[in-house]
Structure 1
Protein backbone atom coordinates (compact mmCIF):
# COMPACT_ATOMS: atom_id res chain seq x y z
CA UNK A 1 0.00 0.00 0.00
CA UNK A 2 1.47 3.35 -1.04
CA UNK A 3 1.83 6.33 1.25
CA UNK A 4 -1.05 8.30 -0.35
CA UNK A 5 -3.54 5.48 0.32
CA UNK A 6 -2.28 5.07 3.90
CA UNK A 7 -2.63 8.82 4.46
CA UNK A 8 -6.17 8.76 3.03
CA UNK A 9 -7.24 5.90 5.31
CA UNK A 10 -5.67 7.63 8.32
CA UNK A 11 -7.52 10.87 7.59
CA UNK A 12 -10.79 8.98 7.11
CA UNK A 13 -10.41 7.21 10.47
CA UNK A 14 -9.51 10.49 12.15
CA UNK A 15 -12.60 12.15 10.70
CA UNK A 16 -14.81 9.32 11.91
CA UNK A 17 -13.33 9.65 15.40
CA UNK A 18 -13.99 13.40 15.47
CA UNK A 19 -17.57 12.88 14.31
CA UNK A 20 -18.08 10.18 16.90
CA UNK A 21 -16.73 12.32 19.73
CA UNK A 22 -18.83 15.31 18.64
CA UNK A 23 -22.02 13.24 18.39
CA UNK A 24 -21.50 11.98 21.93
CA UNK A 25 -20.68 15.40 23.44
CA UNK A 26 -23.15 17.57 21.52
CA UNK A 27 -26.48 18.21 23.23
CA UNK A 28 -29.73 17.68 21.38
CA UNK A 29 -32.64 19.16 23.32
CA UNK A 30 -36.20 17.88 22.98
CA UNK A 31 -38.75 20.48 21.87
CA UNK A 32 -39.82 20.89 25.47
CA UNK A 33 -38.95 19.27 28.77
CA UNK A 34 -40.12 19.86 32.33
CA UNK A 35 -37.35 20.67 34.80
CA UNK A 36 -37.82 19.67 38.41
CA UNK A 37 -37.38 22.53 40.87
CA UNK A 38 -35.25 21.93 43.97
CA UNK A 39 -31.66 21.58 45.15
CA UNK A 40 -31.73 17.79 45.42
CA UNK A 41 -29.08 16.03 43.34
CA UNK A 42 -31.74 14.34 41.21
CA UNK A 43 -32.83 17.79 40.03
CA UNK A 44 -29.43 18.59 38.48
CA UNK A 45 -29.55 18.10 34.71
CA UNK A 46 -26.40 17.42 32.70
CA UNK A 47 -27.57 16.52 29.19
CA UNK A 48 -29.44 19.63 27.98
CA UNK A 49 -28.11 22.75 26.25
CA UNK A 50 -29.38 25.95 27.88
CA UNK A 51 -26.55 28.26 26.80
CA UNK A 52 -27.15 27.83 23.06
CA UNK A 53 -23.70 26.44 22.15
CA UNK A 54 -25.08 22.94 21.42
CA UNK A 55 -23.04 21.45 24.24
CA UNK A 56 -24.50 19.88 27.39
CA UNK A 57 -24.74 22.14 30.42
CA UNK A 58 -25.22 21.51 34.11
CA UNK A 59 -28.58 23.01 35.10
CA UNK A 60 -30.37 23.31 38.41
CA UNK A 61 -33.39 25.43 39.36
CA UNK A 62 -34.13 25.86 43.06
CA UNK A 63 -36.17 28.13 45.33
CA UNK A 64 -35.48 29.72 48.67
CA UNK A 65 -35.84 32.62 51.05
CA UNK A 66 -33.23 35.36 51.19
CA UNK A 67 -29.90 33.86 50.22
CA UNK A 68 -30.73 30.37 51.48
CA UNK A 69 -31.84 27.66 49.08
CA UNK A 70 -34.88 25.57 50.12
CA UNK A 71 -35.64 27.88 53.06
CA UNK A 72 -39.13 29.37 53.61
CA UNK A 73 -40.31 32.24 55.78
CA UNK A 74 -42.48 31.71 58.85
CA UNK A 75 -45.61 31.65 56.67
CA UNK A 76 -44.26 29.01 54.30
CA UNK A 77 -43.35 31.31 51.39
CA UNK A 78 -40.27 31.63 49.21
CA UNK A 79 -39.08 34.88 47.65
CA UNK A 80 -36.16 33.93 45.39
CA UNK A 81 -35.39 31.59 42.50
CA UNK A 82 -31.85 30.23 42.22
CA UNK A 83 -30.80 29.44 38.64
CA UNK A 84 -27.53 27.49 38.51
CA UNK A 85 -25.88 26.97 35.12
CA UNK A 86 -22.44 25.33 34.92
CA UNK A 87 -21.75 25.97 38.61
CA UNK A 88 -22.60 29.68 38.46
CA UNK A 89 -25.72 30.62 40.45
CA UNK A 90 -27.94 33.59 39.66
CA UNK A 91 -30.60 34.75 42.12
CA UNK A 92 -33.87 36.09 40.70
CA UNK A 93 -35.45 38.21 43.41
CA UNK A 94 -39.23 38.23 43.37
CA UNK A 95 -42.27 38.65 45.58
CA UNK A 96 -43.57 35.92 47.85
CA UNK A 97 -44.70 32.63 46.32
CA UNK A 98 -45.37 29.07 47.44
CA UNK A 99 -44.24 27.04 44.41
CA UNK A 100 -42.47 27.37 41.07
CA UNK A 101 -42.36 25.64 37.69
CA UNK A 102 -39.54 25.45 35.17
CA UNK A 103 -39.43 24.17 31.61
CA UNK A 104 -36.86 24.19 28.81
CA UNK A 105 -38.13 24.98 25.30
CA UNK A 106 -36.01 24.71 22.16
CA UNK A 107 -36.92 26.13 18.75
CA UNK A 108 -36.15 24.21 15.56
CA UNK A 109 -33.12 26.44 14.99
CA UNK A 110 -31.65 25.17 18.27
CA UNK A 111 -32.31 28.33 20.29
CA UNK A 112 -33.18 27.33 23.88
CA UNK A 113 -35.47 29.27 26.22
CA UNK A 114 -36.07 28.73 29.92
CA UNK A 115 -39.67 29.13 31.11
CA UNK A 116 -40.06 30.14 34.74
CA UNK A 117 -43.26 30.65 36.70
CA UNK A 118 -43.98 31.29 40.37
CA UNK A 119 -47.39 30.67 41.92
CA UNK A 120 -48.81 32.70 44.79
CA UNK A 121 -52.15 33.48 46.45
CA UNK A 122 -55.13 34.47 44.26
CA UNK A 123 -53.35 33.00 41.22
CA UNK A 124 -50.77 35.79 41.15
CA UNK A 125 -47.53 35.18 39.27
CA UNK A 126 -44.58 37.28 40.38
CA UNK A 127 -42.59 35.64 37.57
CA UNK A 128 -44.05 34.25 34.36
CA UNK A 129 -41.99 34.36 31.20
CA UNK A 130 -39.22 33.09 28.97
CA UNK A 131 -35.54 33.66 29.65
CA UNK A 132 -32.53 33.27 27.36
CA UNK A 133 -28.88 32.80 28.27
CA UNK A 134 -26.42 35.60 27.52
CA UNK A 135 -23.12 33.83 26.91
CA UNK A 136 -20.99 36.96 27.20
CA UNK A 137 -22.51 37.91 30.57
CA UNK A 138 -22.95 34.27 31.63
CA UNK A 139 -26.45 34.77 32.96
CA UNK A 140 -30.08 34.48 31.90
CA UNK A 141 -32.05 37.53 30.77
CA UNK A 142 -35.75 38.12 30.20
CA UNK A 143 -36.83 37.27 26.65
CA UNK A 144 -40.61 37.71 27.11
CA UNK A 145 -42.25 38.86 30.33
CA UNK A 146 -45.75 37.37 30.28
CA UNK A 147 -46.84 39.50 33.25
CA UNK A 148 -46.32 42.89 31.57
CA UNK A 149 -48.04 42.87 28.14
CA UNK A 150 -51.39 43.99 29.56
CA UNK A 151 -50.07 46.40 32.19
CA UNK A 152 -52.68 49.06 32.92
CA UNK A 153 -55.51 46.89 31.57
CA UNK A 154 -55.40 43.87 33.86
CA UNK A 155 -54.93 43.33 37.56
CA UNK A 156 -52.67 40.38 36.89
CA UNK A 157 -51.58 38.26 33.94
CA UNK A 158 -49.43 35.25 33.16
CA UNK A 159 -48.65 33.14 30.12
CA UNK A 160 -48.35 29.55 28.99
CA UNK A 161 -46.91 28.22 25.74
CA UNK A 162 -49.68 26.20 24.13
CA UNK A 163 -48.10 25.55 20.71
CA UNK A 164 -44.66 25.35 19.12
CA UNK A 165 -43.97 24.98 15.41
CA UNK A 166 -40.53 25.52 13.95
CA UNK A 167 -39.32 28.85 15.25
CA UNK A 168 -42.79 30.03 16.26
CA UNK A 169 -44.67 29.80 19.54
CA UNK A 170 -48.20 30.58 20.69
CA UNK A 171 -48.55 32.12 24.15
CA UNK A 172 -51.89 31.92 25.95
CA UNK A 173 -52.24 34.86 28.31
CA UNK A 174 -54.52 34.38 31.29
CA UNK A 175 -55.50 37.57 33.08
CA UNK A 176 -57.96 39.45 35.24
CA UNK A 177 -58.94 42.13 32.73
CA UNK A 178 -60.60 45.34 33.89
CA UNK A 179 -62.88 45.06 30.84
CA UNK A 180 -63.49 41.32 30.46
CA UNK A 181 -62.81 39.93 33.94
CA UNK A 182 -61.13 36.54 33.88
CA UNK A 183 -60.17 35.79 30.28
CA UNK A 184 -57.54 34.18 28.08
CA UNK A 185 -56.04 35.50 24.84
CA UNK A 186 -53.55 33.93 22.41
CA UNK A 187 -50.67 35.76 20.77
CA UNK A 188 -48.14 34.33 18.31
CA UNK A 189 -44.40 35.00 18.43
CA UNK A 190 -41.66 34.16 15.93
CA UNK A 191 -37.89 34.18 16.16
CA UNK A 192 -36.49 37.13 14.22
CA UNK A 193 -33.24 39.06 14.50
CA UNK A 194 -32.07 36.94 17.45
CA UNK A 195 -35.23 37.35 19.52
CA UNK A 196 -38.87 36.32 19.80
CA UNK A 197 -41.26 39.02 18.58
CA UNK A 198 -45.04 39.24 18.38
CA UNK A 199 -46.27 38.62 14.85
CA UNK A 200 -49.36 40.84 15.14
CA UNK A 201 -51.14 43.38 17.30
CA UNK A 202 -54.29 41.25 16.95
CA UNK A 203 -54.85 38.56 19.56
CA UNK A 204 -57.22 35.61 19.48
CA UNK A 205 -59.82 35.61 22.25
CA UNK A 206 -60.09 32.11 23.75
CA UNK A 207 -62.45 32.45 26.69
CA UNK A 208 -64.19 34.83 29.09
CA UNK A 209 -65.35 33.91 32.58
CA UNK A 210 -68.95 35.10 32.81
CA UNK A 211 -72.02 34.45 34.90
CA UNK A 212 -74.58 33.41 32.32
CA UNK A 213 -75.68 33.52 28.68
CA UNK A 214 -73.97 32.65 25.41
CA UNK A 215 -70.16 32.34 25.23
CA UNK A 216 -68.33 35.67 24.83
CA UNK A 217 -71.62 37.64 24.88
CA UNK A 218 -71.55 40.42 27.48
CA UNK A 219 -74.09 42.95 28.71
CA UNK A 220 -73.11 46.63 28.57
CA UNK A 221 -73.25 48.12 32.07
CA UNK A 222 -73.21 51.64 30.64
CA UNK A 223 -73.19 53.40 27.30
CA UNK A 224 -70.09 52.52 25.27
CA UNK A 225 -68.61 54.10 22.16
CA UNK A 226 -67.30 51.86 19.37
CA UNK A 227 -64.77 53.09 16.81
CA UNK A 228 -64.20 52.05 13.21
CA UNK A 229 -60.68 50.73 13.74
CA UNK A 230 -58.48 50.32 16.83
CA UNK A 231 -56.55 53.40 17.84
CA UNK A 232 -58.72 55.85 15.88
CA UNK A 233 -61.11 58.55 17.11
CA UNK A 234 -63.58 57.92 14.29
CA UNK A 235 -66.84 56.80 15.88
CA UNK A 236 -68.66 53.80 14.42
CA UNK A 237 -71.70 53.50 16.71
CA UNK A 238 -72.87 53.67 20.32
CA UNK A 239 -73.76 50.67 22.46
CA UNK A 240 -76.73 51.29 24.75
CA UNK A 241 -76.73 50.39 28.42
CA UNK A 242 -78.08 46.84 28.73
CA UNK A 243 -77.19 45.99 25.12
CA UNK A 244 -75.82 42.53 24.26
CA UNK A 245 -72.32 42.64 22.83
CA UNK A 246 -70.33 39.76 21.36
CA UNK A 247 -66.59 40.02 22.07
CA UNK A 248 -64.55 39.04 18.99
CA UNK A 249 -60.83 39.74 19.54
CA UNK A 250 -58.33 42.20 21.00
CA UNK A 251 -55.73 44.60 19.61
CA UNK A 252 -52.71 45.51 21.73
CA UNK A 253 -50.07 48.03 20.68
CA UNK A 254 -47.61 49.64 23.09
CA UNK A 255 -49.88 51.32 25.68
CA UNK A 256 -53.22 50.92 23.82
CA UNK A 257 -55.72 48.08 24.07
CA UNK A 258 -58.91 47.83 22.03
CA UNK A 259 -61.60 45.15 21.92
CA UNK A 260 -63.48 44.18 18.78
CA UNK A 261 -67.24 43.81 19.35
CA UNK A 262 -70.35 42.87 17.43
CA UNK A 263 -73.42 44.86 18.40
CA UNK A 264 -76.63 43.96 16.61
CA UNK A 265 -75.26 43.58 13.05
CA UNK A 266 -72.45 46.12 13.39
CA UNK A 267 -68.76 45.66 14.12
CA UNK A 268 -66.49 48.12 15.89
CA UNK A 269 -63.74 48.58 18.46
CA UNK A 270 -64.14 49.83 22.03
CA UNK A 271 -61.29 51.15 24.10
CA UNK A 272 -60.51 48.72 26.91
CA UNK A 273 -61.04 49.77 30.50
CA UNK A 274 -58.07 50.80 32.62
CA UNK A 275 -57.68 50.60 36.37
CA UNK A 276 -59.50 53.91 36.88
CA UNK A 277 -62.24 53.28 34.29
CA UNK A 278 -65.74 52.36 35.42
CA UNK A 279 -66.91 48.81 34.71
CA UNK A 280 -67.99 48.24 31.09
CA UNK A 281 -69.92 44.94 31.32
CA UNK A 282 -72.22 43.66 34.02
CA UNK A 283 -71.97 39.86 33.66
CA UNK A 284 -68.20 39.29 33.72
CA UNK A 285 -66.56 37.56 36.66
CA UNK A 286 -63.87 39.31 38.68
CA UNK A 287 -61.78 37.57 41.34
CA UNK A 288 -58.62 38.22 43.33
Structure 2
Protein backbone atom coordinates (compact mmCIF):
# COMPACT_ATOMS: atom_id res chain seq x y z
CA UNK A 1 0.00 0.00 0.00
CA UNK A 2 1.42 3.38 -1.06
CA UNK A 3 0.52 6.53 0.88
CA UNK A 4 -0.28 9.89 -0.72
CA UNK A 5 -0.66 12.60 1.92
CA UNK A 6 -2.76 15.74 1.58
CA UNK A 7 -0.07 17.84 3.26
CA UNK A 8 -1.83 20.98 4.41
CA UNK A 9 -4.91 18.99 5.42
CA UNK A 10 -2.73 16.85 7.68
CA UNK A 11 -1.06 19.92 9.20
CA UNK A 12 -4.50 21.49 9.65
CA UNK A 13 -5.63 18.71 11.98
CA UNK A 14 -3.54 20.40 14.65
CA UNK A 15 -2.45 16.94 15.83
CA UNK A 16 1.03 16.84 14.29
CA UNK A 17 3.23 17.96 17.19
CA UNK A 18 5.30 21.06 16.57
CA UNK A 19 3.74 21.82 13.17
CA UNK A 20 1.23 24.61 12.59
CA UNK A 21 -0.37 26.06 9.49
CA UNK A 22 0.89 29.59 9.09
CA UNK A 23 4.45 28.76 10.14
CA UNK A 24 6.84 29.90 7.45
CA UNK A 25 8.38 26.42 7.40
CA UNK A 26 5.29 24.26 8.03
CA UNK A 27 5.91 22.10 4.94
CA UNK A 28 9.52 21.51 5.97
CA UNK A 29 8.54 20.64 9.55
CA UNK A 30 5.99 18.10 8.34
CA UNK A 31 8.36 16.43 5.89
CA UNK A 32 11.02 16.07 8.60
CA UNK A 33 8.50 14.25 10.77
CA UNK A 34 7.36 12.13 7.84
CA UNK A 35 10.96 11.15 7.14
CA UNK A 36 11.23 9.78 10.66
CA UNK A 37 8.03 7.82 10.01
CA UNK A 38 9.23 6.33 6.71
CA UNK A 39 12.68 5.41 8.04
CA UNK A 40 11.19 3.63 11.07
CA UNK A 41 8.73 1.68 8.91
CA UNK A 42 10.97 1.17 5.87
CA UNK A 43 8.42 2.55 3.41
CA UNK A 44 7.97 5.41 0.97
CA UNK A 45 5.23 8.00 0.59
CA UNK A 46 4.30 11.12 -1.36
CA UNK A 47 3.13 14.34 0.29
CA UNK A 48 1.38 16.95 -1.84
CA UNK A 49 1.10 20.61 -0.84
CA UNK A 50 -0.86 23.49 -2.31
CA UNK A 51 1.21 25.88 -4.43
CA UNK A 52 3.75 27.99 -2.63
CA UNK A 53 7.06 26.20 -2.90
CA UNK A 54 7.24 25.99 -6.68
CA UNK A 55 5.36 23.53 -8.88
CA UNK A 56 6.34 19.89 -9.10
CA UNK A 57 8.61 17.73 -6.99
CA UNK A 58 10.69 19.57 -4.40
CA UNK A 59 14.25 18.28 -4.09
CA UNK A 60 14.74 20.53 -1.06
CA UNK A 61 12.08 18.68 0.95
CA UNK A 62 12.27 15.19 -0.56
CA UNK A 63 14.42 12.44 0.92
CA UNK A 64 14.50 9.41 3.24
CA UNK A 65 11.51 7.82 1.55
CA UNK A 66 9.46 11.02 1.31
CA UNK A 67 8.70 12.66 -2.05
CA UNK A 68 7.32 16.17 -1.63
CA UNK A 69 5.34 17.83 -4.42
CA UNK A 70 3.80 21.28 -4.76
CA UNK A 71 0.77 21.98 -6.93
CA UNK A 72 1.36 24.47 -9.77
CA UNK A 73 0.11 28.04 -9.19
CA UNK A 74 -3.65 28.18 -9.60
CA UNK A 75 -4.01 24.40 -9.18
CA UNK A 76 -5.17 22.80 -5.93
CA UNK A 77 -3.28 19.97 -4.27
CA UNK A 78 -6.47 17.90 -4.62
CA UNK A 79 -6.11 17.96 -8.41
CA UNK A 80 -2.50 16.76 -8.20
CA UNK A 81 -3.50 13.92 -5.88
CA UNK A 82 -6.29 12.83 -8.22
CA UNK A 83 -3.90 12.92 -11.18
CA UNK A 84 -1.52 10.61 -9.31
CA UNK A 85 -4.40 8.17 -8.89
CA UNK A 86 -5.49 8.41 -12.52
CA UNK A 87 -1.96 7.83 -13.79
CA UNK A 88 -1.56 4.69 -11.68
CA UNK A 89 -2.21 1.29 -13.23
CA UNK A 90 -3.26 0.03 -9.79
CA UNK A 91 -5.14 2.84 -8.00
CA UNK A 92 -6.45 0.36 -5.43
CA UNK A 93 -2.91 0.12 -4.04
CA UNK A 94 -2.86 3.87 -3.30
CA UNK A 95 -4.15 5.28 -0.02
CA UNK A 96 -4.79 9.02 0.29
CA UNK A 97 -4.45 10.49 3.78
CA UNK A 98 -7.00 13.31 4.10
CA UNK A 99 -9.98 14.51 6.11
CA UNK A 100 -11.31 16.51 3.16
CA UNK A 101 -14.64 14.79 2.51
CA UNK A 102 -14.95 16.02 -1.06
CA UNK A 103 -11.48 14.78 -1.95
CA UNK A 104 -12.13 11.49 -0.16
CA UNK A 105 -15.22 10.88 -2.28
CA UNK A 106 -13.32 11.60 -5.49
CA UNK A 107 -10.48 9.29 -4.44
CA UNK A 108 -12.88 6.43 -3.85
CA UNK A 109 -14.54 7.12 -7.20
CA UNK A 110 -11.12 6.69 -8.85
CA UNK A 111 -10.64 3.34 -7.10
CA UNK A 112 -8.24 4.54 -4.40
CA UNK A 113 -8.36 4.05 -0.64
CA UNK A 114 -8.80 6.77 2.00
CA UNK A 115 -7.28 7.06 5.45
CA UNK A 116 -8.19 9.64 8.08
CA UNK A 117 -5.65 12.44 8.47
CA UNK A 118 -6.47 12.69 12.17
CA UNK A 119 -5.81 8.97 12.69
CA UNK A 120 -2.58 9.17 10.70
CA UNK A 121 -1.42 12.22 12.68
CA UNK A 122 -1.74 10.21 15.88
CA UNK A 123 0.71 7.67 14.45
CA UNK A 124 3.26 10.46 14.30
CA UNK A 125 2.81 11.10 18.03
CA UNK A 126 4.29 8.87 20.75
CA UNK A 127 2.42 5.68 21.57
CA UNK A 128 1.82 4.59 25.15
CA UNK A 129 3.76 1.44 25.92
CA UNK A 130 2.69 -1.02 28.62
CA UNK A 131 5.09 -1.76 31.44
CA UNK A 132 6.95 -5.05 30.95
CA UNK A 133 8.78 -5.40 34.25
CA UNK A 134 12.07 -4.07 35.50
CA UNK A 135 13.95 -4.58 32.25
CA UNK A 136 13.34 -1.91 29.66
CA UNK A 137 13.53 -3.12 26.04
CA UNK A 138 15.95 -1.61 23.58
CA UNK A 139 14.53 1.44 21.85
CA UNK A 140 14.90 2.79 18.35
CA UNK A 141 15.77 6.52 18.43
CA UNK A 142 14.43 6.85 14.87
CA UNK A 143 10.95 5.75 15.98
CA UNK A 144 8.37 8.55 15.48
CA UNK A 145 7.41 7.97 19.11
CA UNK A 146 10.45 10.09 19.96
CA UNK A 147 9.24 12.93 17.75
CA UNK A 148 7.44 14.68 20.62
CA UNK A 149 10.64 14.72 22.63
CA UNK A 150 12.44 16.26 19.69
CA UNK A 151 9.51 18.62 19.14
CA UNK A 152 9.82 19.80 22.73
CA UNK A 153 13.49 20.50 22.21
CA UNK A 154 12.62 22.11 18.87
CA UNK A 155 10.20 24.51 20.56
CA UNK A 156 12.91 25.58 22.98
CA UNK A 157 15.37 25.87 20.10
CA UNK A 158 12.85 27.87 18.08
CA UNK A 159 12.34 30.26 20.98
CA UNK A 160 16.09 30.63 21.39
CA UNK A 161 16.57 31.31 17.69
CA UNK A 162 13.58 33.61 17.37
CA UNK A 163 14.17 35.71 20.48
CA UNK A 164 17.88 35.23 21.24
CA UNK A 165 19.06 37.07 24.31
CA UNK A 166 15.89 39.20 24.20
CA UNK A 167 13.80 36.29 25.44
CA UNK A 168 14.26 37.48 29.03
CA UNK A 169 12.90 40.99 28.34
CA UNK A 170 9.68 41.87 30.12
CA UNK A 171 6.26 42.19 28.48
CA UNK A 172 6.40 45.99 28.32
CA UNK A 173 9.50 45.86 26.12
CA UNK A 174 7.83 43.45 23.70
CA UNK A 175 4.61 45.45 23.64
CA UNK A 176 6.65 48.50 22.65
CA UNK A 177 8.17 46.51 19.77
CA UNK A 178 4.74 45.31 18.71
CA UNK A 179 3.72 48.93 18.18
CA UNK A 180 6.99 49.84 16.44
CA UNK A 181 7.56 50.41 12.73
CA UNK A 182 9.77 47.34 12.15
CA UNK A 183 7.49 44.61 10.78
CA UNK A 184 9.88 41.77 11.58
CA UNK A 185 10.30 42.94 15.17
CA UNK A 186 6.54 43.41 15.52
CA UNK A 187 5.99 39.81 14.38
CA UNK A 188 8.59 38.56 16.85
CA UNK A 189 6.89 40.57 19.56
CA UNK A 190 3.53 38.99 18.76
CA UNK A 191 5.06 35.51 19.01
CA UNK A 192 6.71 36.33 22.34
CA UNK A 193 3.53 37.80 23.79
CA UNK A 194 1.55 34.73 22.78
CA UNK A 195 4.08 32.41 24.38
CA UNK A 196 4.99 34.34 27.52
CA UNK A 197 2.91 37.52 27.77
CA UNK A 198 0.02 36.31 29.92
CA UNK A 199 -2.99 38.50 30.63
CA UNK A 200 -1.14 41.72 29.78
CA UNK A 201 -0.73 40.55 26.19
CA UNK A 202 -4.42 40.30 25.26
CA UNK A 203 -5.20 43.94 24.42
CA UNK A 204 -1.96 44.65 22.49
CA UNK A 205 -2.45 41.50 20.41
CA UNK A 206 -6.05 42.46 19.66
CA UNK A 207 -4.81 45.88 18.55
CA UNK A 208 -2.30 44.18 16.25
CA UNK A 209 -5.16 42.57 14.31
CA UNK A 210 -5.49 45.88 12.46
CA UNK A 211 -1.75 46.28 11.77
CA UNK A 212 -0.89 47.46 8.25
CA UNK A 213 1.23 44.33 7.68
CA UNK A 214 -0.54 41.04 6.93
CA UNK A 215 2.44 39.19 8.42
CA UNK A 216 1.99 40.94 11.76
CA UNK A 217 -1.78 40.39 11.72
CA UNK A 218 -1.26 36.68 11.07
CA UNK A 219 1.36 36.44 13.82
CA UNK A 220 -1.01 38.17 16.25
CA UNK A 221 -3.82 35.73 15.41
CA UNK A 222 -1.66 32.69 16.09
CA UNK A 223 -0.33 34.36 19.24
CA UNK A 224 -3.89 34.85 20.50
CA UNK A 225 -4.47 31.13 20.02
CA UNK A 226 -1.29 30.44 22.03
CA UNK A 227 -2.54 32.82 24.71
CA UNK A 228 -5.73 30.78 25.04
CA UNK A 229 -8.08 33.62 26.05
CA UNK A 230 -11.45 33.00 24.39
CA UNK A 231 -12.43 36.65 24.70
CA UNK A 232 -10.44 37.08 21.49
CA UNK A 233 -12.69 34.72 19.49
CA UNK A 234 -15.05 37.42 18.19
CA UNK A 235 -12.24 39.58 16.79
CA UNK A 236 -10.52 36.53 15.30
CA UNK A 237 -13.76 35.59 13.56
CA UNK A 238 -13.97 39.11 12.13
CA UNK A 239 -10.48 38.73 10.62
CA UNK A 240 -11.51 35.41 9.09
CA UNK A 241 -14.54 36.99 7.46
CA UNK A 242 -13.16 40.36 6.42
CA UNK A 243 -9.37 40.42 6.03
CA UNK A 244 -8.15 41.00 2.47
CA UNK A 245 -5.09 38.78 2.99
CA UNK A 246 -5.54 35.02 2.56
CA UNK A 247 -2.53 34.50 4.86
CA UNK A 248 -4.39 36.31 7.63
CA UNK A 249 -7.64 34.44 6.96
CA UNK A 250 -5.77 31.13 7.08
CA UNK A 251 -4.17 32.08 10.40
CA UNK A 252 -7.58 33.15 11.74
CA UNK A 253 -9.13 29.82 10.76
CA UNK A 254 -6.36 27.92 12.50
CA UNK A 255 -6.59 30.14 15.59
CA UNK A 256 -10.34 29.54 15.92
CA UNK A 257 -9.82 25.78 15.66
CA UNK A 258 -7.30 25.87 18.48
CA UNK A 259 -9.13 28.42 20.64
CA UNK A 260 -12.84 27.76 20.08
CA UNK A 261 -15.12 30.23 21.81
CA UNK A 262 -18.16 32.27 20.85
CA UNK A 263 -18.93 32.32 17.15
CA UNK A 264 -16.02 30.06 16.18
CA UNK A 265 -18.09 27.37 14.50
CA UNK A 266 -20.33 29.60 12.34
CA UNK A 267 -17.31 31.67 11.29
CA UNK A 268 -15.47 28.53 10.22
CA UNK A 269 -18.54 27.19 8.42
CA UNK A 270 -18.71 30.42 6.43
CA UNK A 271 -15.00 30.14 5.60
CA UNK A 272 -15.66 26.85 3.81
CA UNK A 273 -16.71 29.09 0.91
CA UNK A 274 -13.54 31.21 0.98
CA UNK A 275 -12.05 31.79 -2.51
CA UNK A 276 -8.65 30.43 -1.36
CA UNK A 277 -8.15 26.69 -1.08
CA UNK A 278 -5.75 26.90 1.88
CA UNK A 279 -8.29 28.90 3.86
CA UNK A 280 -11.07 26.41 3.06
CA UNK A 281 -8.89 23.46 4.06
CA UNK A 282 -7.81 25.12 7.29
CA UNK A 283 -11.42 25.96 8.15
CA UNK A 284 -12.49 22.35 7.52
CA UNK A 285 -9.67 21.00 9.68
CA UNK A 286 -10.50 23.48 12.46
CA UNK A 287 -14.15 22.45 12.44
CA UNK A 288 -13.02 18.86 12.91
CA UNK A 289 -10.87 19.96 15.84
CA UNK A 290 -13.87 21.64 17.48
CA UNK A 291 -16.02 18.56 16.88
CA UNK A 292 -13.40 16.25 18.37
CA UNK A 293 -13.27 18.31 21.59
CA UNK A 294 -17.00 18.16 22.24
Common fold, TM-score beyond 0.5?
no
**Rg larger in structure:** 1
The answer to which structure has the higher helix fraction is 2
TM-score by length of structure 1 reads: 0.22
Compare relative contact order (CA 8 Å, sep 6+) and give the higher one, 1 or 2.
Answer: 2
The answer to which structure has the higher strand fraction is 1
TM-score by length of structure 2 reads: 0.21
